Structure 1
Amino acid sequence: MTITLITGANKGLGFETARRLVEAGHTVYAGARDTRRGEEAAARLGARFVRIDVTDEDSAEAAAEFVRKEAGRLDVLVNNAGIVGARKPVGETTGAEMRTTYETNVFGAVRVTRAFLPLLEAGKNPVVVNVASGLGSLAATNDPDRIESTVASLDYNSSKTALVMVTSQYAKAFPAIRFNAVDPGYTATDLNGHTGHNTVEEGADVIVRMALVGADGPTGGFFDAAGPAAW
């Protein structure tokens, strides 16, 4: 049985990824900050709920201990939890607002990964998938033919760029674990007021695909629906 944890699993891409991996036979721990919403989502999914606030070190450690006691290992970690940020013009975004966005989108992934590393090292062909964005791609955001070039967001975009590099550094430090970042594309979720042109099913495709890679799969990469993504 493959043991999987997904953060931000109570809705959107996290929920759909959890649904697909449960369907694939995984024992999924659906992570969420809100207990009521998380428990309701887990019940709908046929998953196990674990409360985790990725902005809180103690919460990440407690979630890891919960999974350790129940399962003894972790095979797949999907760092999906994220926030859209301040939604302000670049010149008006403050350092404090940048920090708030990074607390979830970057430092949150680091907190969770660090807390679960011992369980991942005990896992079977362990995999970590970090949900980034095309908005974190220097290539995409500077290509006038890409929709990403029309979006200016100092905090959100740069946080996703940082997450791709964080992924690369973990991959180098832990060669026995497959670490990859993914771009689900412009997906209709609460994050963008459901304005995206991809469905959550389409957006989750690349997350699920990279969650299912084996020991001979890629690591340290950035992928979208078409394959390796420009960065």
Structure 2
Amino acid sequence: MKTAFITGANKGIGFETAKQLLENGYFVFIGSRNIDNGESAVQQLKKAGFENIHAIRLDVSDITSIEEARKEIGKQTDILDVLINNAGINGGMPQAALEAPVESFQKVMDTNLYGVIRMTQAFMDLLKKSEQPRIVNVSSSGCSLTLHSDPEWIYYSHKAAVYTASKAAMNMYTINLAYELRDTAFKVNAVCPGFVATDFNNHRGTGTVEEGGQRIAKYAMITQDGPTGKFISEEYNSETGETPW
């Protein structure tokens, strides 16, 4: 049975992604900053008939928390097949480039960028033991430099200086990570779930969590002929999903 660890998975897209992977026979570790919320998510999924799931207390901005999570998962498995870096914060609104304090950038980067780096490095030893390791960094088409420079783009005026900077930086980390792992069985991609209605955006999104979870799970389960080092948004590009950086 393949194993997956999803950060920030007690609700929203992370929770739905967990459900999608469970339906495909995976054992799923649900990462949650609040363990009670994580356990509640597990109970919801168990009521739906799933058993191969376990909650893990995890704060991706705290290296001690990550180290404890690594120890806990290491007690249950020697191999991790999938790491989905889903946990993220938006930094609140408004986010004007001239007015957002540096402290806001630092806080959001600590989760959205440094959290991804911490998690990837901490769990690399378990991932390397998988025959087909997968890393999915949950991104957003809203952090595309190309699209945000195009006045004709539908979301051109939806600027958020703090959040988009953090995800654009995470995308660059994804490119470098995929390059370093290019001669291995790893598949590493930045994947946008779409503009999904969740607590993250005060339910202003136009898509469903089911759609978002399905898109993330798809790239967690890609075969060896699948892409790596790509920025994927099937909402933006319904044919190949490939999106301009």
| TM-score > 0.5, shorter chain as reference | yes
Q: Secondary structure of the residue that 2:190 maps to in structure 1? A: strand
Q: Tell me if the contact between 2:196 and 2:208 (Cα under 8 Å) persists in the aligned partners.
A: yes
Show the counterpart of 2:122: 115
Write the distance in 2 (CA, Å) between the matches of 1:132 and 1:91.
Answer: 24
State how 1:1-231 maps to structure 2 within 5 Å.
Answer: 1-45=1-45, 46=50, 47-88=53-94, 89-175=96-182, 176=184, 177-225=186-234, 226=238, 227-231=241-245
* CA displacement, residues 117-175 of structure 1 (integer Å, 9 cap, x when unaligned): 00000113000000010111012222334333121111101111111111111111123
Write the distance in 2 (CA, Å) between the matches of 1:117 and 1:62.
Answer: 15
Q: Tell me if the contact between 1:132 and 1:182 (Cα under 8 Å) persists in the aligned partners.
A: yes
Write the distance in 1 (CA, Å) between the matches of 2:43 and 2:177.
Answer: 33
Letter in 2 for 1:218: P
Q: Secondary structure of the residue that 2:8 maps to in structure 1? A: coil
- Distance verdict in 2 for CA 1:43–1:124, change over 3 Å: farther
Q: Secondary structure of the residue that 2:5 maps to in structure 1? A: strand
Letter in 2 for 1:32: S
Write the distance in 2 (CA, Å) between the matches of 1:166 and 1:42.
Answer: 31
More helix by share: 1
How many residue pairs align between the two structures? 231
Write the distance in 1 (CA, Å) between the matches of 2:103 and 2:29.
Answer: 32
Letter in 1 for 2:121: R
Q: Tell me if the contact between 1:206 and 1:223 (Cα under 8 Å) persists in the aligned partners.
A: no
Q: Taking structure 2 as the reference length, what is the TM-score of the superposition?
A: 0.91
Q: Tell me if the contact between 2:20 and 2:214 (Cα under 8 Å) persists in the aligned partners.
A: no
Write the distance in 2 (CA, Å) between the matches of 1:211 and 1:147.
Answer: 28
Write the distance in 1 (CA, Å) between the matches of 2:62 and 2:75.
Answer: 20
Unpaired segments ≥5 residues, structure 2 = none
Letter in 2 for 1:151: H
Q: Secondary structure of the residue that 1:71 maps to in structure 2? A: coil
- Cα distance, 1:42 vs structure 2: 1.6
Of 54-63 and 85-94, more deviation after overlay is shown by 85-94
Of 22-31 and 197-206, more deviation after overlay is shown by 197-206
Q: Tell me if the contact between 1:134 and 1:148 (Cα under 8 Å) persists in the aligned partners.
A: no
Of 202-211 and 102-111, more deviation after overlay is shown by 202-211
Letter in 1 for 2:171: V
Q: What root-mean-square deviation, in Å, do the aligned CA atoms of Structure 1 and Structure 2 show?
A: 1.2
- Distance verdict in 2 for CA 1:119–1:108, change over 3 Å: same
> Identity over the aligned pairs, expressed in percent?
41
* CA displacement, residues 70-96 of structure 1 (integer Å, 9 cap, x when unaligned): 011100010000001142222110111
Q: Secondary structure of the residue that 1:92 maps to in structure 2? A: coil
- Cα distance, 1:205 vs structure 2: 2.5
Letter in 1 for 2:195: Y
- Cα distance, 1:218 vs structure 2: 1.3
Write the distance in 1 (CA, Å) between the matches of 2:151 and 2:193.
Answer: 20
